[in-house]
A and B are shown apart, each in its own frame.
Chain A
């Protein structure tokens, strides 16, 4: 029931309340009206019953007084004025008649019969008086005075009586009226009081039903105004306040959205996540504007940061081509220009490093080439030295030999000199010997002839022996072989004899020629003997020179040895140079590799340099990375 009432719409509730109030008011009004009407009718009654008849009575009294005066005047006044008095009398009579009639009309409650009768009589007398006056018999009027005086006293008395009646009545009526109105007003008061109480109760109930949610909402609104949004509003009625509460709840939800989104944005901004944005579609109206504004503020604030971030990411990856392009103001413009100039300087340095590394690479390559050719040169020098050494040692040996030979030759020449003389003597003896050989040769020819004959005989003998052996058959087989051998020997003897014979002949011929030569030789020997003395001095010169050569060659050898040491030392230097240039190359390569990671606006690197770099051994660079281990085991395996 209460719930239903609470769910009633406020206008309905107000209407109901005001209707109730209206009804109470109307009831009061109606009651008042009734009371008023009663009072009015009461007052009318009093008026009609008392006031009006009283006024008529006074008028009647007045007119009567005037009438009496008129009559008196009529009596005393000159004739000329009779008419006016008469008229006065008539008028007053008419008036009295008139008021009497009116009195009758209202004052029915009072008995005016007596007054009426008295007045009728009096008026008749008055009329008579007038008639008398008109007829000039004023004197007669005085006759009537007494009556008239009595009558007028009676009339006055009656009038006063009636007035008193009416006043008493009026008093009574007013008193009655007072009582009634008092009762009525009391009732009225009670009703009004009840009505007021009802209205107050109703008002209290109404205000309570309106104010309780209102206070809640005020409280809520205060909290909201103080920045609290986590407010619980437990109003779930269906009336306008319920609707208002719903609206409040919506406000709270909106505010919660607003604060949570704002908080989220702020928190993420604090945490450096500037890319996060709130969903504007969750918000409406001004709130949307706020969130949108924050989003836009973040956009505005983060746009340079984002761009700077992108640029820096690019830079970190070596791209130095990009610059901040956005149109920023204030501090952002400072950031932009600073960053751009930083990248610009970096670009410049990198480009310079690039050039330097290229130069370095080229130089390293040159050094490397130089070291290699030096090394190669050393090797060639060494082999040349080796050949030289070998040649020199050969020469040294020969020189030594020469020196020895020269000495020997000297000795030989001396002995040859003597020998040449001896040779001459021997030559003579040889000539004799040759003649003897000639003779002996002739003898040999004879002997050979004998041998030839023997060989012939032996051949025949061998033939015979062969025949004999054939005869002997099986037993003669061995002998046949001997016979064959003997035959062969005989043939060979004959051959030898023949050859010897021709040799001997040849020999004889040669001896003859020899003798001629021996003559020449003897002559030559003589010349030799003479030449020998000059040869001796030459040979001793050669011997001396050879000895000098030998000692010179020792010096040459020493020189070559020195040279060889230099060559080996050069070789070491060349190796060291090569190693150093390798290291240099690898460092240049590394440098270049690092620098190559940067992309610059102007491509300052020429490919030739790059190629050179790529061909250079980066060996040493890695050596530094290789771990160091000391060898603990001193064992050499199978060694």
Chain B
């Protein structure tokens, strides 16, 4: 078992926090556990050596792998269902009425292994019905973990990830493979653009602002400062009248943001 001394760990946690916003300061044993196998695989005797190796790796592949390891990709289809019923019942009717150029821009920020953007894509297909052909509803889905994105792109899911989906939807949007896993339909894959993106980046390189942003259970990994910055950036990235969905356990402090809380964990840019 390779242990990390406090000094190394603090340096590492600060590095991760400043570059990726992830707050690991009180999670030493967690980091130790997650990196154990990686260190053993790569043959490092000490965490210090590994950390230096990562810092000096110009190809950035090591940092990518490190990020793959320390990020948590926990999600499933129709997670936190209230959001989706609000989306369909309130947000989409409102946006459909107000968007003039038929370009609905949705961003799944921190999409993990793709269940969230695919769930949104299903809902959009269901909501717009045949009209969807006259709309551009493509969803942008970003995550910092390349590994999670690869899974998302592949679109093969274990059955219990689909537990919250109805049987009809399972039939409609998935094909079952011989191993009993579910492969997402191509029409849904075509509706989602998966990209690597670090939410902590100073510059958000998007051409247009979004109508809907899902950034759920991402900020829980960030420290307060990073959260505030992120919330401001998300606010700036939204069209006026746009909606931000955050995780059910997340809170945007009223006093610190211009967002208007519409229902718990759903906010609107007025």
A633 to B142, CA, bound (A): 13
Contact B206 A636 (CB under 8 A): yes
Contact B193 A571 (CB under 8 A): no
- CB-defined contacts of A631 to chain B, threshold 8 Å: 146, 149, 194-196
Q: Does A561 contact B (CB under 8 A)?
A: yes
Interface residues as binary, A149-184 with B (CB distance below 8 Å gives 1, 0 otherwise): 000000000000000000000000000000000000
- CB-defined contacts of A634 to chain B, threshold 8 Å: 195, 205
Contact A575 B217 (CB under 8 A): yes
Question: Which residue of A382, A561, A578, A630 contacts B253 across the interface (Cβ within 8 Å)?
Answer: A561
- CB-defined contacts of A619 to chain B, threshold 8 Å: 113, 157-158, 160-161
- CB-defined contacts of A629 to chain B, threshold 8 Å: 146, 150, 153
A289 to B152, CA, bound (A): 72
Interface residues as binary, B199-227 with A (CB distance below 8 Å gives 1, 0 otherwise): 00000011110000000010111001000
Q: Does A540 contact B (CB under 8 A)?
A: no
Question: Which residue of A571, A615, A630 contacts B217 across the interface (Cβ within 8 Å)?
Answer: A571
Chain B residue at minimal CB-CB distance from A565: B224
Contact B251 A628 (CB under 8 A): no
Contact B158 A568 (CB under 8 A): no
The stretch of B1-9, B166-174, B242-250 that contacts the partner chain: B242-250
Whole-angstrom distance from the CB of A104 to the nearest CB of chain B?
147
Question: Which residue of B33, B72, B158, B261 contacts A572 across the interface (Cβ within 8 Å)?
Answer: B72
Interface size class of A (residues with CB under 8 A): 35 or more
Interface residues as binary, B115-142 with A (CB distance below 8 Å gives 1, 0 otherwise): 0000000000000000000001010100
Q: Does B264 contact A (CB under 8 A)?
A: yes
The number of chain B residues with a CB under 8 A from chain A is 54
Chain B residue at minimal CB-CB distance from A633: B195
Q: Does B154 contact A (CB under 8 A)?
A: yes
Contact B251 A564 (CB under 8 A): yes
Most interface-central of B61, B157, B193 (chain A CB within 10 A) = B193
Contact A636 B205 (CB under 8 A): yes
Chain A residue at minimal CB-CB distance from B248: A379
Q: Please judge, given known A-B contacts A628-B147, A630-B146, A637-B193, whether A567 and B140 are in contact too, CB under 8 Å.
A: no
Interface residues of B (CB under 8 A from A): 23, 26-27, 30, 33, 61, 64, 72-74, 80, 103, 105, 107, 113, 136, 138, 140, 146-147, 149-151, 153-154, 156-158, 160-161, 181, 193-196, 205-208, 217, 219-221, 224, 247-251, 253-254, 261, 264-265
**Given contacts A576-B72, A617-B161, A639-B193, could you give 13 more A-B pairs where the C-beta distance is less than 8 Å?**
A375-B249, A381-B249, A382-B249, A385-B251, A568-B249, A569-B220, A572-B72, A619-B113, A619-B160, A623-B147, A628-B150, A631-B196, A639-B107
3 closest cross-chain pairs (CB), A and B: A571-B249, A572-B220, A382-B249
Interchain Cβ contacts under 8 Å between A and B, 23 examples: A379-B249, A386-B264, A564-B251, A568-B220, A571-B217, A571-B247, A572-B221, A575-B74, A575-B220, A576-B30, A576-B74, A582-B74, A617-B158, A619-B157, A619-B160, A622-B181, A623-B147, A626-B151, A630-B61, A636-B195, A637-B140, A639-B105, A639-B107
